[in-house]
Amino acid sequence: MTAKHRYLTVTLFDEPPCRIWTGDWPIIADSRRAVQGWRYQLIVRQHADGRALVSGIARPAAGVDDDLRERRGAILATNRMRNDDPAHITDAIRAVADRMEFGDDLVRQCIALLPARTI
């Protein structure tokens, strides 16, 4: 089965939103956790040129108070060194989680889901 690609608008922290073609930005890690009526998610997409888009989403679970609103935010991380060092991605994961007030467990899970690198 072939996945359908589409344009996706992503809300960035402290910058205007960006629009990406999902076919050019595949998901390389996706961690999720549900805690006390909320669902938390960290998503990492990476372009072939090394840039990474790390997004955080916090949603109230079904049946939770309707006044609670979904929160979203993302950071566009660039690897200026142009090598296999994933530090720009792990730093962005930590930064998004910090801004979204996610726990360390979700951060560790997301980092562990990143593709292995050859050293």
Residue 51 lies in domain: 27-112
Picking from 32, 12, 55, 27, the residue whose alpha carbon sits closest to that of residue 114 is 27
Tokens of 92: 């962005």
Structural domains counted in the chain: 1
What's the predicted TM-score (pTM) here?
0.86
Instruction: Assess if residue 98 is contained within a domain.
Output: yes
Instruction: Assess if residue 69 is contained within a domain.
Output: yes
Q: For 66-119, how does the pLDDT look when each residue is reduced to its tens digit (9 = 90+)?
A: 566 788 998 888 876 555 567 889 999 999 999 999 999 999 999 999 999 887
Q: How many CA atoms lie within 13 A of 29 on its CB side?
A: 24
Instruction: Assess if residue 89 is contained within a domain.
Output: yes
pLDDT for 1: 47
